[in-house]
Every structure is written in structure tokens, then in C-alpha cells.
Amino acid sequence: MTTYDSSMPERDVFRVENCSIERTLAVVGEKWTFLVLREAFSGVRRFADMQASTGAPRQVLSARLARLVDEGLLSKVPYREPGSRRRDEYRLTQKGRDLYPIMVSLMHWGDRYLADPEGPPVILTHRDCGAPISGRLVCEEGHEVPSPREVTPRPGPGARRLAG
């Protein structure tokens, strides 16, 4: 994919074939993966519980969990119920927890555009004060960035310049 906008002459022409969005979607960009992550963020750790709450077919869930472990978003931690064989539960790693803002943003978008007329099915609140959670973009100087029109994409250190 080539990115160039002639209305932005100060912007360098660069390739985004090493696009971070594309690479992220290669890891998490599938319905069952997001549903597994939703459950993990809700504290669900065990296969049977994830299967019951997502409705994922056993083979699909097994494959998604294996992929999330391979990618380092979940870790397998063994446990044993008395009188049962050893099993694994799945816990979010820091890499997995770093996806939380994305999950909240997806949820808020769905609440805004796809919720039932009665409203959203879940409202996230701050545990300490009880206020609803909102997602906002803020620059490193602390300014709120309310719109994509307030953002200028610039080549990063991994950008690849177009030839010619």
C-alpha cells in the first residue's frame, strides 16, 4: 500500500507495507480472537468457561488460545482441581493487557452505533469513583485530539521511502 496525499506537500512519500495496523490485524483481527480477549479482560481464564461464554466451537477456541499464547498475549498457567488431571488456564500478559484500550474503543463504537434501543449492554466504570470510562486520544503534551483532522501522519523510524 502506498500513501501519498498531494494536499499535504510537507509530508514525505513513504510505503506502509510494514503497516502496524496490518500486522496487528494479522494477530487479533478475527471475531473469535476478540471474544476470547473480551472474556480474558473480564477475568475468565479457563477453557470451558471461555467456551460457554463465547459460544466458540471447541476446535476454534483451542486454535485461538494457542495463537494468543504463541503471540505472547496470553500465558498458560497450570492448575489442578482435586481429583482431576492437570489443566491450563489462560492469563493475559502485559502485551495482552496493552490491547485493553482497543477493546474499550471497539465496545464504545458498538455502543454508539449498534446497541439496542435500550442502550449498551455493559457500562465500564472506574472502580475507585464509579464514573463511566471514556476513551480519548491525548498527545504527549496533554492536549486532547478530538478528530482525525487534528492528526498529521509522519514517517516514523521504520518508514520506507518510495523510490523515484
- Checking if the pLDDT of 149 tops 70, the result is yes
Give the global pTM.
0.82
> Among candidates 54, 75, 55, 77, which has minimal Cα distance to 66?
75
- Checking if the pLDDT of 30 tops 70, the result is yes
Q: In this predicted structure, what is the pLDDT of residue 3?
A: 47
Phi, psi for 137 (deg, rounded to 5):
-90, 135
pLDDT digits (tens, 9 = 90+) for 58-113: 999 999 999 999 999 999 999 988 998 999 999 999 999 999 999 999 999 999 99
Place of cell 491450563: 88
Q: For the chain, what is the radius of gyration of the CA atoms?
A: 20
> Among candidates 124, 108, 96, which has minimal Cα distance to 37?
96
| Complete domains list, the chain, with CATH | 2-161 (1.10.10.10)
Reduce the secondary structure of 40-96 to three states and give it as a string: HHCCCCEHHHHHHHHCCCHHHHHHHHHHHHHCCCEEEEEEECCCCCEEEEEEECHHH
Contact 78, 87 (CB under 8 A): yes
- Checking if the pLDDT of 15 tops 70, the result is no
